[in-house]
Amino acid sequence: MFDAKTTCIVVVGAQWGDEGKGKLVDVLAERADLVVRYQGGANAGHTVVIGEKQFILRQIPSGILHSGVTCLIGNGVVLEPENLFSELDSLHERGIDTTGRLFISDRAHLVLPYHKLLDAASEKSQQLGTTGRGIGPAYEDKYGRRGIRVVDLRRIECARMLLTERVRRANQLLQLMESTERANLDEHVAMLERLAPRLLPLAADAGLLLHRAVKANRRVLLEGAQGALLDVDHGTYPYVTSSNTTAGGAAVGAGIGPTAIDGGLGIVKAYTTSVGNGPLPTEAEAPHGERLRRLGGEFGAVTGRPRRCGWFDATVVRYATRVNGLTGLAVTKLDVLDTFAEIPIGTMYRLSGELCEEMPAEVEALGRVQPVYEVLSGWQQPTGETRKLADLPRQARAYLDRLEMLSGVPVRYVSVGTRRDQIIET
């Protein structure tokens, strides 16, 4: 992906999240100098497998597993500090030294325990299927201009005053939502006092660091979390997360201008999955859905929930290509389809009897669409050890060609297993 003119690339999920961004970023980070997370928070679960070890990274960019890579957590992330440190500790325990390689934007907002209580309480009425990590309430506070940011910890007295007001307000809301839970101010204060001395040395003007790196032509990967259909503007609203998961969010959330970004790689699974609620037009009927789930190990990395599984939905990926301005695709988990005799692809929808090639804005309409399927022959042989496109079975290449044609963007990578080396560069 990187060349003399392409030094800053954004990597985004182009479906409903869980497309395998962690693995792709890990593979690409070998050639990068900086990897930046720019939105979302501990709701993400980026899985990377190295040898026998599996790492699930929630907030720390997947590039951290390469010793030469510097990682930034941008201003657009909502940071859960307690979780960050357990993630850091577990990396250190497993021999990954992060010293001097991780910086957190001092403008990033904090996710605090009261956000999780509010998330749980609103989930009772809204039933969106959130991860329960307090993401929505933390972004609500940010945009309501009452968030607490990393920078506020520099004046702990001030943070304490802010907390008093915020915890009081959270408890009023909890009462209003008929929750019996209450946030405890003393526990919040004690937590921030305990964590501030560890967090502040990592705090930096991350946007400035990134700007300087871009100016110096350093190789930068902007690592998106979740997927296009979970974007608060472009996704299947209200069954979305609370940030801009699409490429536009990268500039804002990392603190650079959009003109600094040279290309966009969209990660798509060779089929479709979603965790959480809301319509999923190409959801496979039993027993195919169950078979995809079993073969693909489709259980949420953060919540352990079984993922809903279905066939590749080209309408979704075409839409994601457009709203992200993608310049390439990485197709992951092709090997999961190895044993299927026939593989349907949803090429477009039928809505109220009419053919429809674009995503409807209304979630109710998306719930009513009938996918139009084209059925391709499976290859029924293992692909996990293939390293060249030309060596893939003919039917697998035909499948990839069809995905590429329907999505309108070239396939640049194909992942054929969880290991680092199980990747084909086209």
Q: Which residue of the set 26, 46, 66, 234 is catalytic?
A: 46
Produce one character per residue of 246-264: b if its CB has 16 or more CB atoms within 10 Å, e if not: bbbbbbbbbbbeeebbbbb
Count interface residues toward ligand IMP (CB under 6 A).
Answer: 20
Q: Per CB under 6 A, does 44 bind ligand IMP?
A: yes
Asked if residue 57 lies in contact with residue 48, where contact means CB atoms within 8 angstroms, the answer is yes
Distance CA 302, CA 46 (A): 9
Alpha-carbon dihedral sign for residues 383, 389, 392, 398: positive
Distance CA 317, CA 332 (A): 13
Hey, what's the torsion of the CAs at 239, 243, 249, 255, to 10 degrees?
-170
Residue nearest to ligand IMP (CB): 276
Site string for ligand IMP, 7-36 (x = CB under 6 A): ----------xx------------------
Radius of gyration for the alpha carbons in the chain, expressed in angstroms and rounded: 21
Whether 18 is catalytic is yes
Question: Which of 56, 120, 129, 169 is close enough to bind ligand IMP by CB under 6 A?
Answer: 129
Whether 46 is catalytic is yes
Q: Smallest distance from the beta carbon of 364 to ligand IMP, in angstroms? A: 17
Q: Smallest distance from the beta carbon of 330 to ligand IMP, in angstroms? A: 16
Q: Smallest distance from the beta carbon of 22 to ligand IMP, in angstroms? A: 10
Q: Per CB under 6 A, does 135 bind ligand IMP?
A: yes
Q: Per CB under 6 A, does 272 bind ligand IMP?
A: no
Nearer to ligand IMP (CB atom), residue 230 or residue 392: 230
Q: Smallest distance from the beta carbon of 140 to ligand IMP, in angstroms? A: 11
Nearer to ligand IMP (CB atom), residue 230 or residue 414: 230
Neighbours of 98 (CB within 10 A): 16
Distance CA 399, CA 199 (A): 47
Q: Which residues pair with 283 in a beta bridge?
A: 310
In this structure, the strands spanning 342-351 and 370-377 are antiparallel
Q: Smallest distance from the beta carbon of 363 to ligand IMP, in angstroms? A: 12
Q: Smallest distance from the beta carbon of 197 to ligand IMP, in angstroms? A: 29
- Segment (H or E) for 135: helix 135-143
Alpha-carbon dihedral sign for residues 332, 334, 336, 342: positive
Structure tokens at 373: 């399927």
Q: Per CB under 6 A, does 131 bind ligand IMP?
A: yes
Structure tokens at 202: 């990592």
Q: Per CB under 6 A, does 249 bind ligand IMP?
A: no
Identify residues 207-236 at the interface with ligand IMP (CB under 6 A): 225-226, 230
Q: Per CB under 6 A, does 276 bind ligand IMP?
A: yes
Distance CA 425, CA 154 (A): 46
Catalytic residue numbers read 18, 46
- Applying CB under 6 A, the residues found at the interface with ligand IMP are 17-18, 43-45, 128-131, 133, 135-136, 225-226, 230, 239, 241-242, 275-276
